[in-house]
Structure 1
Amino acid sequence: MSDVIVIGSGVIGTSIAYHLARDGANVTLLDQAFDAATKPAATWASAGGLRSQGRHAEDQPITKLAAARWKTLSEELDADLEVSFGGHLHIAETESEVPVIEQRFASDTAAGLPIEKVEGNRLRAIAPALTENAIVGAYTAGDGQAHPGRTARAFARAAARLGTKTIFGQAATVKMDGGKASGVVLADGTILSSGQLILATGAWSIDLLSKLGIALPLRWRGLQMLLSDMAEKMLAPTVTAVGRNLSLKQTPSGEFMIGGRWIAAPAPTGIGSNCVDAHVARQWSGAAAILPALRSRKLAQAWSGVEAQSIDSLPFIGRTRIGGLYLAAGFSNHGFQISPQIGACVASDILTGQEPLLAPFAPHRHDGIDPAKVSAFIAESIAC
């Protein structure tokens, strides 16, 4: 019997499994797909940004530690994660948007983040190919990007080298014994036993929790991503914009990756999503307005994946009211950058019983919330 079963092999689950195994635990990693990084889940939908600016105050301490980890993570995991540090540039295109940049600069500076307010020649030097409409930006030179799928696989392989056992199967329900979680029952009836379960199943956590009578203000939604054909290198930073749903970066191989919270249509049944053609067109045109060179590029691929989102956009991490059941879900579109340190913190919490950095993310923090507010929040998840 394993000390810990981690359910979910996206970048959060594999990071947790790796850090637990590194710290001496006997770990089993369970997922419904052979490679979670290629199924329509949160890792699949991630744009791979390593963004430290514009974070919630609650996760800034973890963000800072994670930023340091990314500097050497490829070497630690012995894998090419396609990590690059071209910075992150958040821009304003109109005078009415400038106060948003100024507020981000002020709050991140107060938090000790090395952020720079840029305009004029300095802005053009950072991203000369951007539209002339970009008038001011908040720039963090130490931010960057990495490949989400490669990162999840690298964590899983590193965990396996440390003795983690990987099992492929769909978790149907949590097995209970004396009011405590004692294992997981798979869809084929197989039972895996352990005194400690960690749900890192993203959108699929909602159903598993509901079967146990746990209802959190957590929803899932489909997000779509676009990828262009290859082009000459012209964009070093990841670019976001105040007035647009946009995350734009150029990969190390030259393609432009375009994200930015564009909603995909829910699948007819179950948890899943499909790209919306009208949204693809608007997503592409919005990116081209920021980077005019995109107008001469071609769309090479469009895809979507599902992301679990909490009502306050902060993840649920910690022990649930059920003994032996731990939750790490609801990263709300910004879990990739912090994934290395989340794994380390969860491992510390599981093995030592304390990790103060995780206190703001307690699963029970919304106990007593107005049910009508939760219902309205969840209903929004099916809107396109």
Structure 2
Amino acid sequence: MSGTADVVVIGAGIVGAAAAHRLTTLGFDVVVLDSGEPNGQGSGASAANLHSQGIHTRRPGQAVPVDVQRLLPLQRAARERWTHLAAELDADIGFSPTGGFMVAETDEQVADLHRKHGWETDAGVVTEVLDGDTARRALPLLGPGVRAATWCAADGFADPALVTPAYLAAATRAGATVVPHHAVQGLTRDGETWTVHAGGSTWNAPRVLNAAGPWMGRVVELVGLALAMTPLAIQALRLGAGGARLPHLVQHVGEGFSVKQDRAGRTIVGGGWPALPWTLDDEPRTDPASVTGNLGQLARVLPGLVDRPVEHVWPGPLAATPDEMPVAGWVPGRDGLLAVGGTYSFTFAPLWADVVGALLSGHAPPVDLTGLDPGRLVRPAPDTETDPQEEPCG
């Protein structure tokens, strides 16, 4: 399995897969490595919302709010790419541009909607603020406690079981090599060449993309640095099909809460409620208290949907940065090593693919990356004598 490539991509989740596809279309020879099955971790477990309007600032338990205003230009750029993605990949990705409501239940939250609407207008994201009665006329399922809502026709979602495989299939058709069950155990640089050790094989390449999601920090440890990213697991739940039909994505401006229905009419409830505490060496486990909390929100905001039984609850691993913002750019002091991922990677994946393609081609990125570079998170490693055989990642 050993060989050479122009770029080695570490991680076959949605960001790594999207980047591999973009790079192959640009003529790069690409190898994608994953420690398990592609799409087998956070990307496959994502609620798969496509956020166009401003998001809620905090998931439950989140200490630092998201900079909603900063993310909006990135969301707009990413959403434009999703429109044509199924045709580009020649595959069904479950793309559902349903439009979405962001609801508010208190005076403070209503004020947040109006403030957010101003930021959205400045960023070119089209939204409309509705009072509670107008919102209920548009979506009668909304509960009586909803005081106002922002409507955004560009909101939607995709199918997390379809998108990453479609990216990888298209990349493979264009010449990429995808190697599952090869955890990266060593990463060394000699001159202008990286040597990537994984699963008993080695690949040499001048460029490496760290798209390992929660394991991004472990990849950086292999090159003698530490990355201030914290692995955590959030969870979602699914209710059985039947009952009332929800035609749109519904979110909450002040709480972690998102609801939609899939093609089978099953209600998917998410919003970032935490799973049990998780480390990279364990399997994430769901937290019953978060299920109860999520269902309580559903009963308030969309009471007509609570009559269906819970048929599945699942955790999804991700990596959080101290500032709750994404990571995109070159790792300082390690020539040829890129790191991309973090917050809302599912929404941003097509955009990050274009960013990676531009950076590796020597061009300016298509969006402003100010404040998103890995350098803000990089620290000297406590022990740079890392044993590459002890810390598999990717």
Same fold (TM over 0.5): yes
CA displacement at 1:223 relative to structure 2:
0.6
CA displacement at 1:341 relative to structure 2:
1.6
What is the alpha-carbon distance in structure 1 between the residues aligned to residue 25 and residue 338 of structure 2?
Answer: 19
1:109-148 pair list within 5 angstroms? 109-148=121-160
The answer to whether the Cα contact below 8 Å between 2:259 and 2:268 also exists between their aligned partners in 1 is: yes
CA displacement at 1:297 relative to structure 2:
0.4
Report the AA paired with residue 99 of structure 1.
Answer: A
Q: Is 1:218 equivalent to 2:221 in the alignment?
A: no
Instruction: Give the match for residue 53 of structure 2.
Output: 53
CA displacement at 1:100 relative to structure 2:
1.3
> CA offsets per residue over residues 35-70 of structure 1, 9 Å max, x none?
x32x2x221332111111116444433322221222
Instruction: Give the match for residue 357 of structure 2.
Output: 347
Of 239-248 and 300-309, the range deviating more from structure 2: 239-248
Change (3 A) 1:282 1:60: closer
What is the alpha-carbon distance in structure 1 between the residues aligned to residue 254 and residue 193 of structure 2?
Answer: 46
Instruction: Give the match for residue 75 of structure 2.
Output: 63
CA displacement at 1:231 relative to structure 2:
2.1
Of 314, 329, 332, the residue aligned with 1:303 is 314
Of 25, 28, 33, the residue aligned with 1:25 is 28
What is the alpha-carbon distance in structure 2 between the residues aligned to residue 368 and residue 322 of structure 1?
Answer: 13
Instruction: Give the match for residue 295 of structure 2.
Output: 284
Instruction: Give the match for residue 64 of structure 2.
Output: none
Of 343-352 and 207-216, the range deviating more from structure 2: 207-216
CA displacement at 1:234 relative to structure 2:
2.2
Structure 2: tracts of 5 or more residues without a match: 56-67, 383-394
What is the alpha-carbon distance in structure 2 between the residues aligned to residue 313 and residue 196 of structure 1?
Answer: 27
SS of equivalent residue, structure 1 residue 307 = strand
Report the AA paired with residue 90 of structure 1.
Answer: M
Higher helix share: 1
The answer to whether the Cα contact below 8 Å between 1:49 and 1:144 also exists between their aligned partners in 2 is: yes
1:1-384 pair list within 5 angstroms? 1-34=4-37, 36-37=38-39, 39=40, 41-54=41-54, 56-178=68-190, 182-186=194-198, 188-232=199-243, 234-267=245-278, 270-320=281-331, 321-329=333-341, 331-332=342-343, 334-355=344-365, 357=367, 359-360=369-370, 361-366=372-377
> CA offsets per residue over residues 356-376 of structure 1, 9 Å max, x none?
62532211135689x9xxxxx
Q: Percent identity?
A: 28
SS of equivalent residue, structure 2 residue 318 = strand
The answer to whether the Cα contact below 8 Å between 1:181 and 1:325 also exists between their aligned partners in 2 is: no
What is the alpha-carbon distance in structure 1 between the residues aligned to residue 9 and residue 155 of structure 2?
Answer: 29
Size of the aligned set, in residue pairs, is 364
Change (3 A) 1:289 1:57: closer
What is the alpha-carbon distance in structure 2 between the residues aligned to residue 26 and residue 103 of structure 1?
Answer: 46
Structure 1: tracts of 5 or more residues without a match: 372-384
SS of equivalent residue, structure 1 residue 283 = helix
Of 308-317 and 57-66, the range deviating more from structure 2: 57-66
Change (3 A) 1:233 1:179: farther
Report the AA paired with residue 185 of structure 1.
Answer: H
Report the AA paired with residue 23 of structure 1.
Answer: L
What is the alpha-carbon distance in structure 2 between the residues aligned to residue 269 and residue 241 of structure 1?
Answer: 30
The answer to whether the Cα contact below 8 Å between 2:33 and 2:184 also exists between their aligned partners in 1 is: no
Normalised to the residue count of structure 2, the TM-score between the two structures is: 0.86
SS of equivalent residue, structure 1 residue 352 = coil
What is the alpha-carbon distance in structure 1 between the residues aligned to residue 185 and residue 368 of structure 2?
Answer: 26
Instruction: Give the match for residue 387 of structure 2.
Output: none
> CA offsets per residue over residues 146-182 of structure 1, 9 Å max, x none?
1122111110001011011111233333431337661
What is the alpha-carbon distance in structure 2 between the residues aligned to residue 328 and residue 268 of structure 1?
Answer: 21
Report the AA paired with residue 16 of structure 1.
Answer: A
Of 356-365 and 123-132, the range deviating more from structure 2: 356-365
SS of equivalent residue, structure 1 residue 323 = coil
